[in-house]
Amino acid sequence: MRDQGKRQLVANLKEKCEQWGLEYARLFVVDQTTPYIHVFTSHLHEFYDQFNNLNTFSFQGVERLNELLTRDYFGGTNRKGEYFQQMIKKRLCQMVLPV
């Protein structure tokens, strides 16, 4: 019985998050959808289902990656064409060959 209650709770959470996401998309343009909004609307119920709470969920890794990519992008001179691939290659080299 407890398992069915949790499944119902997760299903309700998923539905509410999806409804919130649709309302957000209606009020704001799609370009304003951030990774936070995507995770909240599409994956929050999965985290709750897996961990039984949301206290262990954090955006710390996403924040750090965003900080590094932003720094690389604005610190670089090539902001056209293949800049994203160049940033990823640079990050991979730094991970493999730490200075």
CA distance 64 to 71: 11
Range picked from 21-25, 33-37, 82-86 for highest mean pLDDT: 21-25
CA distance 64 to 58: 12
Burial of 34 (0-12, 13-18, 19+ CB in 10 A): exposed
Whether the CB-CB separation of 73 and 83 falls below 8 Å is answered with yes
Q: Give pTM, 2 decimals.
A: 0.56
Q: Domain limits of the chain?
A: 2-51, 60-96
Q: What is the pLDDT of residues 58-79, one digit of tens each?
A: 777 777 777 877 777 777 666 6
Residue 79 sits at φ, ψ, to 5 deg, of -105, 15
Overall average pLDDT of the 42-68 stretch: 81
CA distance 6 to 97: 46
